[in-house]
Amino acid sequence: MIRLLYPVHIFSCNLGSNPTALLAEALSTVLSPTFLSKYSIKIKHLMCLLNFLLSSLPPVMKEIMVRAIYCEMLGYQASVSYIHAIKLAQQGSVLEKRLGYLAVSLFLNESDEFLLLLVNTVLKDLQSTNLNEVCMALTAVSQMFPKDMIPAILPIVEEKLTHPKEVIRRKAVLALYKFYLIAPNQVQHIHSKFRKALCDKDPGVMTASLHIYLQLVKESPESYKDLTVSFVTILRQVVGGKLPMDFNYHSVPAPWLQIQLLRILAYLGKEDQGTSEMMYDVLEESLRRAEMNHNITYAILYECVKSIYTVYPKAELLEKAAKCIGNFVLSPKINLKYLGLKALTYVVAQDPNLALPHQMTIIECLDHSDIIIKRATLELLFRITNAQNVTVIVEKMLEFLRQSSNDYSTVDLVGKVAELAEKYPFIKQDPLNLCNGMQPDIPNNFLRLLAEGFDSVEEDRQLRLFAVDSYVLLLQGETASLPQCFLQVISWVLGEYAHLRPDQASDPGKVMRLLTRLLDQRHASAQTRRWILSALTKLCSSPVESSLFSDWPVRLTAVFRGVPQVDSSLSFLDGHVSEALAAGAAPYKPPHQRQEELAHEKALSLEPYGLSLPVSLSTCSITDRLTDRQSPTRLSISSSVSGNSTELSLKGGSTTLKLDGVKRVWGKEGYLVQQPKEVVEETPLPPTELPSPLGSFQSPVSQTQTASPGPEPDQERQQLASSLFVGVGTHHSVCLVRSTACQSLRSSGHFIIVCCVSSPQVSCVSGDLVEEVKGHSVATCQYAVVMMRASVDVELAGLVSYQRVPGQPRATPFSLRLSLKHFIRPLTVSTGEYGKMWLSFSHDVKQNLRLITAGDQSPLTATLDTLRDRLHLHVVDIIGSEGIVACRLLRGQPCLLHCRVHADSLAVWLRSPIPEFPDSLLYHCQKALAEA
């Protein structure tokens, strides 16, 4: 320090000759940024020096102030210079004033008392005739101004709104906005002036006022609905290029202004059809005008898409916006990809279908090298989580967690996983893996989950046992890396539930020994030790040999002293172990062996859920979907109904498959070979002779289950895609079918026909199941097939077993595809009835269809006639440009269509009491019209 001060000292002695130049040089050396960082100068000394220089050398004050700013930025608190900064702002020339204001705004904050000294200066400068001074004051005011002093300067700032200079008006607007943010009550009376600013002849001022309106509209959209027209007009003018060329950026007219306006419109149009209708045109126009050629146009497009999805929906716009999102997601530019994912995340909440076309891209993004993209993808997946894909998604999240370091996104993601775990309780084992639960409330939630349990006692036991087992396993390994709160969770769980372990009875000391070991370890904090001790206390309540505690006085003393004693050979246990072995206890199993057992246990623990669809099974239906969009919901088979289970009679109107009393024919492993009773009695079918039954059903399943050892990455991805997107998208609903399914087998000889029809969506009512076919006659079996859940089409498959020669049973599988069309019947209702029904139905879908023009008929009539002929719909009435149509499922629920000619398309609104019906019907309407 002395060495540093020395040159300064020399120069200060020489002040007489040419002090300033020399001094400046010395100062530059001492206070130069590189110097500061090079020598770790004691801050105290530095500040003394600064103070000395600032107070004694006004001529170079400006230079020193710049250095002080630099010191402050580097983190040295240059508090001694604060008062000098204020002085500079108060007294200096224009240039010094500017620096003074700058320094003040960097040094001080709103609550600083020093600022009170500045109020008068600000007042004076605001009234100055020098434009620069006014600007400076306004800038400083918008950066930091004490809340209590706002009334003092408010009138003057308000006055500036009418200032002839546009720059000043603009800054005044922003300063007022700042006041609004700090103290909303004090600027309430000038809302009318904001409106004036919005109508300012200078677009710059108008732009500034939009900051205010964005905030105001966000807070209360209702109060500003009247301005919608103005905003729409402004946006239309901007988009139309009415602004001066100065406002163009890369030949895009005022892009930031457009973005701002689009955001405001989104807030205004949210959940408000009337207001939204006003802006459809302009939204469409900006979407169209923003050609993809520059970064900034993507920014506009992105905002536009977001607005379109926020305001009251309009089908055509949504379609265009969806296309736009597609472009974003598929873009090779990574920033756009990110925004595309964000946009998808935003819109899937409204329509999960939108994610479907991008499945593969999303999967790619999951493996992206950029962690932010990965994170955004997980966020997206989080939004489309459902009961079917939750396991896969949580797995992906946990995978991400394992890689990422401890930061905000980890905490956030852990929270999400915990949320999912609570929402879908069947992913029980996953929360246990949240060993890096950083947020304090997550362990708590988890423990609550464990303690309160689920609905079934058995499941609770299983989960707790799993927790205990996995924690015991963890404790046997290296524990040093585990976070403290996790160790606490472990201790609590072991203390509460260790008694559930099957080997607990034979070896009660095991868990205790592990905990004891943990207690001895250096890295356990005092808090953690408390948890461990209380766990040990709980465990002691069960009878334990006293030998285990023989050295506890020593141990506890060690614990209390905080000096751990580690007996790594655990020699003190020898006696206990030999005793236990002599008493017939199982010998010690090394960890890997136990792990195997544990894995085995895990597999077993799936048992209670065996009935639900295994993921891979449901996978197959969706894998198909990837390649075949025609059948969005294929059949997925969990068990089939054997033909002779006659209990399964169809009750009209029931829409669920009754499995009670139905023999299970399909198990997890496939067909459970079981002979129909009749056959068994006569001539037992040797199972080996059965050709792979229902091959068409089983094969996709087995394919996915036994993936080839080295599957193509693509295949893997597809598989992943299918498991991720299972259940996302339209669930086509309800329909009952009049069956035309009739399979006849012609042959000579003797037949015994046994039909197995299976599908969760279709149930079969069978008549006589066994028929004799003699000679060359034809036996026709007619079954009424009823669709249990509506979907675009279903596959019906079955098995015909027959015996040509007694004693030689054969079987032939068959399958046929039935479309929803087959199940639709016209519904004859009056217009009045229609109106009543319409109001009572809750599930609706809107879509635009193409109109058909035919001869002399009006397009509406022609279109509706086509639909009537092709889909057996009943046209109730046609009034002007609107038509109403009704239909129902065979023996099932109705669906109503309301059609309106809109421009050159037909806006159709479908309503039904069943959720999936409108979607499926719409699909067929589209198809019918396309074919016409």
Minimum CB separation from other proteins for residue 410, in Å?
A: 8
Residue 8 lies near other proteins (rule: CB under 8 A): no
Residue 850: closest CA among 840, 839, 842, 862: 862
Residue 220 lies near other proteins (rule: CB under 8 A): no
Residue 581 lies near other proteins (rule: CB under 8 A): no
Minimum CB separation from other proteins for residue 195, in Å?
A: 19
Of 63-71, 513-521, 695-703, 726-734, the segment contacting other proteins by CB under 8 A is 63-71
Q: What's the rounded Cα separation, in Å, for the pair 433 and 415?
A: 13
Q: What's the rounded Cα separation, in Å, for the pair 571 and 920?
A: 72
Q: What phi, psi does 63 have (nearest 5°)?
A: -65, -40
Residue 307 lies near other proteins (rule: CB under 8 A): no
Of 71-79, 632-640, 812-820, 882-890, the segment contacting other proteins by CB under 8 A is 71-79
Q: What is the dihedral of CA 225, 226, 231, 237, to 10 degrees?
A: 150
Rg of the chain on CA atoms, in Å: 39
Nearer to other proteins, 218 or 677 (CB): 218
Q: What's the rounded Cα separation, in Å, for the pair 912 and 733?
A: 10
Nearer to other proteins, 311 or 896 (CB): 311
Residue 18 lies near other proteins (rule: CB under 8 A): no
Q: What is the dihedral of CA 11, 12, 14, 20, to 10 degrees?
A: 80
Nearer to other proteins, 372 or 586 (CB): 372
- Chain positions 113 to 142 lying near other proteins, rule: CB under 8 A, are 132, 138-139, 142
Residue 208 lies near other proteins (rule: CB under 8 A): yes
Minimum CB separation from other proteins for residue 583, in Å?
A: 54
Element (H, E) at 526: helix 526-540
SS3 884: strand
Of 120-128, 210-218, 797-805, 882-890, the segment contacting other proteins by CB under 8 A is 210-218
β pairing state of 843-850 and 874-879? unpaired
- Chain positions 557 to 576 lying near other proteins, rule: CB under 8 A, are none
Using the rule CB under 8 A, which residue among 1, 33, 647, 806 binds other proteins?
33
Residue 624 lies near other proteins (rule: CB under 8 A): no
Those residues whose C-beta lies under 8 Å from the C-beta of residue 818, and which sit 6 or more positions away, are 737, 739, 740, 741, 762, 785, 787, 793, 794, 795, 796
Nearer to other proteins, 79 or 926 (CB): 79
Residue 182: closest CA among 207, 213, 147, 216: 147
The DSSP call for residue 614 is: P
DSSP collapsed to 3 states, 561-583 = HCCCCCCCCCHHHHHHHHHHHHC
Whether the CB-CB separation of 742 and 620 falls below 8 Å is answered with no
Element (H, E) at 110: none
Whether the CB-CB separation of 685 and 693 falls below 8 Å is answered with no
Nearer to other proteins, 4 or 781 (CB): 4
Minimum CB separation from other proteins for residue 519, in Å?
A: 32
Residue 80: closest CA among 111, 110, 103: 103
- Chain positions 232 to 291 lying near other proteins, rule: CB under 8 A, are 246-247, 249-250, 255-256, 259, 263
Using the rule CB under 8 A, which residue among 56, 91, 295, 527 binds other proteins?
295
Minimum CB separation from other proteins for residue 560, in Å?
A: 36
Of 23-31, 148-156, 529-537, 760-768, the segment contacting other proteins by CB under 8 A is 23-31
- Chain positions 168 to 197 lying near other proteins, rule: CB under 8 A, are 170-171, 174-175, 177-178
Using the rule CB under 8 A, which residue among 55, 56, 77, 565 binds other proteins?
77
Residue 330 lies near other proteins (rule: CB under 8 A): no
- Chain positions 448 to 467 lying near other proteins, rule: CB under 8 A, are none
Using the rule CB under 8 A, which residue among 60, 183, 227, 544 binds other proteins?
60
Residue 609 lies near other proteins (rule: CB under 8 A): no
Those residues whose C-beta lies under 8 Å from the C-beta of residue 731, and which sit 6 or more positions away, are 633, 789, 915, 916, 919
Minimum CB separation from other proteins for residue 113, in Å?
A: 14
β pairing state of 793-803 and 905-912? unpaired
Q: What phi, psi does 910 have (nearest 5°)?
A: -105, 140
Nearer to other proteins, 250 or 530 (CB): 250
Tokens encoding 263: 């955001």
Nearer to other proteins, 298 or 802 (CB): 298
SS3 855: coil
Nearer to other proteins, 149 or 533 (CB): 149
Residue 646 lies near other proteins (rule: CB under 8 A): no
How many residues line the site for other proteins (CB under 8 A)? 80
